[in-house]
Structure 1
Amino acid sequence: MTTPSVEALVFDVFGTVVDWRSGVVRDGRRIGDSKDLTVDWAAFADAWREAYDPSLDRVRRGETPWRNLDALHRESLDGLLDRFGIEGLTEREITHLNRVWHRLDPWPDAIPGLRRLEAQYVIAPLSNGHVRLLTNMAKRAGIPWDLILSAELAGHYKPDEEVYLTAADLLDLDVDDVMMVAAHEGDLEASRDVGFHTAYVHRPQEWGGDGADSAEKPDESAYDLVVDDFADLADRLDAPPLA
């Protein structure tokens, strides 16, 4: 398949750029150790993430008013603390845990790959995370975005088409000058429906373990690019090597 010519790459973040599961487990264990709590933090992380799409869908369907991701995560977290029998946390500790999504670490290949890509393309997140969350994440981890794009700027959550169209408009580009990069096929399919090019990045470790429970890597013909990681993406897009 011919590699498409684009000017900007926009990236899904949770699971594609950063390892959300390890970050939640890490911070959960720190709290658990400090409070002498016995919690299956891996199961807790999975349950929190599983609450993500339903909470977004309630906003997308108009069942609840627009709220940023911190507010939606906090609503889910309050229920999970009760479900997992986690007691004795102060409001400050709960707020800190809720903001773990601001403190996630990139996959090992992410920053080197992005540094190669930024030499040739405009690169930005296009995440359901809000602007402050994505900014905090980037500053902490050194993610070299050219700018921050977020669903918050559209007042919609992915996969609503308004998110993708708003991003193209803010970039002052036609939709076919933009490529969506994601590890999640629903995101890619929605962006392709509005005219974006698409690159699938395989993240078999997103849900932990050996990746055996992850979605299978799609066929090469499913998207413009199907790659193993960001180094592979940079190679396929002819990005120069790091100096």
Structure 2
Amino acid sequence: MQAKALLFDTFGTLTDWRSSIARQIRPRLPDEATAFRFTDEWRALYQPAMEEVRSGRRPFAPLDVLHRENLDRILPDFGLEHLGKAERADITRFWHRLDPWPDVREGLLALRDQAITVVHSNANVALAVGLIRFGRLSFDAILGAEVTGHYKPQPECYLRACALLALPPGECMMVAAHNDDLEAAQGCGLQTAFIPRPLEHGPGQTKDLKPEGDWTIVAEDTDDLARKLRERAT
């Protein structure tokens, strides 16, 4: 069955968040290594913060709020506790200004010719809009966590996104660089496409280097995904 909608993870799959955050924080830190350490420590709080919401221990909060709370936690570790509210707000918006991987801009255009393209991210809407505008990316809709009221990999996040598109899950395809995201989507009946991003977490990455499930498509990048979708349609 040809997918009528492609639901894209954004962080990692479409953007090089690690290099982008390190580049933006670098002027406030002594060297590049410290900038990457700052980025990694900030990101390390990402899943635990969302788990507080997924578990029901706190009400739903958009990712910009979680990022800001996590930022406040790590600033003292880097001698930046003196930063005021305006500077902290600007640093939080670093996540709105992430560089796309080199293949993404043209790849999305090719994919949009074949199917509905949808942001399906844990990013809140304002964050996703920032990413789209900064990266000049082509999408038809923004769904995901804030719209569905659930963070991935909760099933409601995938199923409500499909319902909002008025499509059955089998006609939607989750596209991600993360095997756990695809496993959750597949469990909800979606088709799946794996795109490896072996440098998402830097040169020492050990996870998601290869497909670890029976995914519908395994592609080298977004351009390759567009080619493989065309081949399936013929």
Tell whether the structures are fold-level matches, with TM greater than 0.5. yes
Distance 1:198 1:69 in 2: 24
Match of 1:233 in 2: 225
For normalisation by structure 2, the TM-score amounts to: 0.93
Match of 1:146 in 2: 140
Q: Does 1:86 align with 2:83?
A: no
1:216 to 204, 209, 216: 209
Q: Give CA deviations for 1:42-75 in whole Å, capped at 9, x if unaligned.
A: 0111111111111000110011121100110111
Q: Does 1:132 align with 2:108?
A: no
Match of 1:73 in 2: 67
Residues 147, 215 of structure 1: alpha-carbon distance in 2 compared, 3 angstrom cutoff: closer
What residue ranges of structure 1 are gaps of 5+ in the alignment? none
Tell me how many residue pairs correspond in the alignment: 230
- Describe the SS at the equivalent of 2:7: strand
Distance 1:215 1:202 in 2: 7
- Describe the SS at the equivalent of 1:238: helix
Q: Does 1:179 align with 2:173?
A: yes
Residues 148, 160 of structure 2: 8 Å contact kept: yes
Residues 205, 214 of structure 1: 8 Å contact kept: no
Task: Give the letter for the 2:227 counterpart.
Answer: D
Q: Does 1:5 align with 2:8?
A: no
Distance 2:148 2:140 in 1: 19
Distance 1:125 1:212 in 2: 25
Match of 1:25 in 2: 22
What residue ranges of structure 2 are gaps of 5+ in the alignment? none
For normalisation by structure 1, the TM-score amounts to: 0.90
Shift of 1:214: 4.0
Distance 1:158 1:143 in 2: 22
Task: Give the letter for the 2:152 counterpart.
Answer: K
- Describe the SS at the equivalent of 2:120: strand
What's the % identity of the aligned pairs?
Answer: 43
RMSD: 1.6
Q: Does 1:160 align with 2:157?
A: no
- Describe the SS at the equivalent of 2:117: strand
Q: Does 1:202 align with 2:187?
A: no
